Amino acid sequence: MSEGIGKKTVRDIDVAGKRVLVRADLNVPLDDGQVGDDTRIRESLPTIEHLIGKGAKVIVCSHLGRPKGVDPALSLAPVAGRMSNLLGREVLFAEDCVGPVATAAVEAMNGHVLLLENLRFHPEEEKNDPAFAAQLASLADVFVNDAFGAAHRAHASTEGVTHYLPAVAGFLMEKEVRYLSALVANPPKPFAAVVGGAKVSTKIPAIEHLLPKIDLLLVGGGMANTFLKATGVDVQMSLVEDEQVAAAKEILARAKAAGIEVHLPVDVIAASKFAEDAEALERPVNEIPRGYMVLDIGPRTVKEYAAALGRAKAVVWNGPMGVFEMEKFSHGSFDLARAIANLDATTVVGGGETAAVVAQAGLQDRFTHVSTGGGASLEMLEGRELPGVAALLDA
């Protein structure tokens, strides 16, 4: 049995000669019909290779993007090609994920791996339609969920199929759940949460769940403006969620009462417009020019945050520190990523944008764990049970 997640994994089942349906997260960026970044494909390979090695017929399914019905631009066909190259063996492609086309493709496998077409070409997938789930399940004898990035959704391919097939976790799912749940349940101390991104509203449940467990809270990104406004700072034209100012005040008060060290930006990079060619000004937070907006944390803030994190034994980071997609407003995120990468601590990154910062900085290998699932990792930090995990067989 597998330690750590309370669910059976691919190690716990005999798959020799069986057809195994693997739900992977192959939601990769496509560039002119070519795979732009194959990280998610690579992350799915250990489970697929393990199953091949144990003599299983491996049938892989995934979603890609948010199609409204069949959309050739969001076909998984290019993914099959890239997966073939990475696996070093042919990956067959079925032009549908259910019905006669899929059934015929499974029957023709003969030692190959098969990738089914985009699940979301069928609206029944996201509706968790039982008939659609039964059709998908009919292709296999066993189900392996390795799509942590979709585990917070009760869809036909994550929850529905578990009513028809014995269901276990793949290696990526196991790794993701183990790191995030262990960190939240029993973190090494001092434990720091670094929270950024545009909106406070999406992060408040996670902050509230983490508050009793953390020793330091560091806030950046657009959401820091709402916290700064809660302390009386005039953030001028910056993005602020006015309806969340009271919630930010409440969090600051609770943190103070609990003796939690809170760090808000002391200086910022501001601009007169949200654009790459805007003039970027470095200013203390209480001297933001009239009509300007905050688009990044400043160098003094980075230095202060890095010094505070130097004491931490565990850090969870969710959300960038500024508009990292624009070079002028990316330094806060990248400099902080380098500072966290250099810590002698357990360092976990949750969330798609934060993972993108770490990847662009070439620092993936310097973090203890970089989560592949944005929404799923945030829900785990909120202490919520993920439907795609709950549906798996208990260990």
**Nearest in space to 269 (alpha carbons), one of 325, 331, 217, 218:** 331
The stretches of the chain forming alpha helices (DSSP H) are 39-53, 77-87, 99-107, 130-137, 171-185, 204-210, 223-230, 245-257, 299-309, 331-341, 352-360, 374-381, 387-390
Taking only the tens place, the pLDDT of each residue in 295-343 is 999 999 999 999 999 999 999 999 999 999 999 999 999 999 999 999 9
Identify whether residues 55 and 166 lie together within a single domain. yes
Q: What is the pLDDT of residue 4?
A: 67
Identify whether residues 185 and 104 lie together within a single domain. no
Q: Measured between alpha carbons, how far is 208 from 286 in angstroms, rounded to an integer? A: 27
Active site residues: 40, 199, 352, 375
Contact residues for 74 (Cβ-Cβ < 8 A; gap 6+): 30, 64, 65, 67, 118, 120, 121
**Nearest in space to 279 (alpha carbons), one of 338, 215, 328:** 328
The distance from CA 324 to its chain's CA centroid, rounded to whole angstroms, is: 17
Question: How many residues does the structure list for the chain?
Answer: 395
pLDDT average, residue stretch 185-193: 93
pLDDT average, residue stretch 187-200: 94
Identify whether residues 262 and 377 lie together within a single domain. yes
**Hey, which residues does 316 pair with through a beta bridge?**
193, 348
Range of the domain at 22: 10-172
Q: What is the pLDDT of residue 372?
A: 77
Identify whether residues 58 and 77 lie together within a single domain. yes
Identify whether residues 30 and 167 lie together within a single domain. yes
Helices (H) and strands (E) counted in the chain, each on its own, are: 13, 17
Residue 143 domain flag: yes
Residue 127 belongs to a domain with what CATH number? 3.40.50.1260
CA torsion 137-138-143-148 (nearest 10°) is -30
Q: What is the pLDDT of residue 5?
A: 86
**pTM for the whole thing?**
0.88
Taking only the tens place, the pLDDT of each residue in 216-265 is 999 999 999 999 999 999 999 999 999 999 999 999 999 999 999 999 99
pLDDT average, residue stretch 142-166: 96
pLDDT average, residue stretch 55-62: 98
Identify whether residues 214 and 356 lie together within a single domain. yes
245-257 and 223-230 helices, crossing angle to 10°: 70
Q: Is the peptide bond before 190 cis (omega within 30 degrees of 0)?
A: yes
Identify whether residues 357 and 261 lie together within a single domain. yes
Identify whether residues 57 and 122 lie together within a single domain. yes
Q: How many other C-beta atoms lie within 10 A of the C-beta of residue 391?
A: 19
Residue 325 domain flag: yes
Residue 1's pLDDT band (boundaries 50, 70, 90)?
very low
